[in-house]
Amino acid sequence: MKKQLTYITLLLSLALLAASCNKWLDVKPKDRTIEDQIYNTEDGFYTALNGVYLDLCSESLYGAQLSMEMLELLAQRYNTSVTNHYAQVVSSYSYGDSKMKSKVDNAWKGLYRNISNLNRMLYMIETKKSVFGSEMSYKLLKGQALGLRAFLHFDLLRLFGPIYKSADSTAKSIPYYDHYTIEYQPFLPANDYMNKVMQDINDAETLLAASDPVISSGPLFSAAPGNGSNKFRFRNMAMNYYAVELLKARALLYREDKAGALAVTTAVLPDIEKWFPFVNVNNVTDNVNPDKVFSTELIFGQFDSRLYEMYNKYFSPVVPEAGLLTSQATRLSSLYESNENDYRYKSIFWRVPDNNAVTYKCYYKYSDIINKDKNYRFLLPLMRKTEFYYIAAECETNTTKALDYLNTVRKARGLVDLAANAAVVTEIRKEYMKEFFGEGQLFFYYKRTNNTSIPNGSAASGNVSMTPAKYVLPIPDSELAYRN
């Protein structure tokens, strides 16, 4: 593990150096020498790609805002009745507030910034194709870049686009950048935008199917033996073939193509079971070094060196109550149906022993562990295997089969099977609420299914009414001002 982190730290340090001041993507004449140095070797391309991965972990993106913080506040995960102004602003969908505007603006800029980086890289991949040592390496890198471009564009639409389920798909949504340019691209109809998402997904799928070691060898979640290269290892920490397949299933379901989403899911589930096993119960219940992110199940994640800083900022019980993000006690118990056997409940929600100042359970998923050599330290989940099962259950027309998909997950979480007459739609919603705590997926689920009422996170009971105005983040003023 130490070798693994040393390699990653070195690679990301080079990427950060290259990305500072945006020198390697803001291609002005004076900067071409710097760009040439980066893109003059195959390793340089991978360094640049890791620069994108590094930026995804920034606080304004998946390092906080789009995982554990802003999106979870929008999903009513936390009790904001006694928290600071910003948390209350977000949970009340006050998009006109200056702090909220700033957060939304940073997310918009950050996602499109990385898309621009990827577009420049994709252009240079073709321009400098001769630097790649093999066709496999060329396809692997290009497939990752296209998959990431689709991933980021899709999340932009899930944030700033209409409720696709109920919206006119010909209405204008947001711009899609499918090539490197300094010109603003037009706001596209949501359906045309999704056509471009699917094109990138399909192209990435083709390239990675022919090059990704994850298909034949699994995630290879360890350093290469001896002094071997780690370039093609840690595949679950990069956009890989199975992550693209999950993204494809997500996108098809988003477009309400349930038959297509089910076909994608069922085709890869045998491989998913082979290479991404459900987490070992003993690792979850370890009182010293628990695997709270269920690392073996991650289809796509990141090593986030600031992960525990974010925990200390938002969730640690030593944080003053006005800044602490935690769930209302009764609401939390109700969410997990008062079932302490659910590994997701007992492994990440604890009450600090002998701490009379904190009388409720706090959220510990992103707290550090004692053993610094565990390979699941610093892991930030972005996509996990259970979503395959939830998509399959939602798309399956046979109720018995749909419940089987849900029961597979429940068994892996220490729960008994659902009753044969259980309501599939209701149980899927419960699973999204339980499974993805702190990962930002619940708000997207609520929006996709157009839930008009969701549980109020700041009360023991009752709901919050939801409208398109609450589900659709406004286009930042900065974007509109530049266009005007």
Q: Going by C-beta distance under 8 Å and a sequence separation of 6 or more, which residues neighbour residue 188?
A: 172, 173, 174, 175, 176, 196
CA distances from 115 to 175, 198, 478 (A): 11, 16, 18
d(CA 71, CA 75): 6
Q: How many residues does the chain have?
A: 484
Neighbours of 411 (CB within 10 A): 12
Render 187-227 in DSSP notation, one character per residue. Answer: EEEHHHHHHHHHHHHHHHHHHHHTT-THHHHTT--SPPSTT
Q: What is the dihedral of CA 324, 330, 331, 332, to 10 degrees?
A: 70
Domains located in the chain, CATH noted:
2-483 (1.25.40.390)
Residue 467 structure tokens: 């409208």
CB 204 within 8 A of CB 146: yes
Q: Note the pTM of the prediction, 2 decimals.
A: 0.93
Q: What is the pLDDT along the chain (484 residues), one digit of tens a residue?
A: 434 443 344 344 444 434 433 333 444 444 556 777 889 999 999 999 999 999 999 999 999 999 999 999 999 999 999 888 889 999 999 999 999 999 999 999 999 999 999 999 999 999 999 999 999 999 999 999 999 999 999 999 999 999 988 766 777 899 999 999 989 999 999 999 999 999 999 999 999 999 999 999 999 999 888 877 888 999 999 999 999 999 999 999 999 999 999 999 999 999 999 999 999 999 999 989 999 999 999 999 999 999 999 999 999 999 998 999 999 999 999 999 999 999 999 999 998 765 666 788 999 999 999 999 999 999 999 999 999 999 999 999 999 999 999 999 999 999 999 999 999 999 999 999 999 999 999 999 999 999 999 999 999 999 999 999 999 999 999 999 888 7
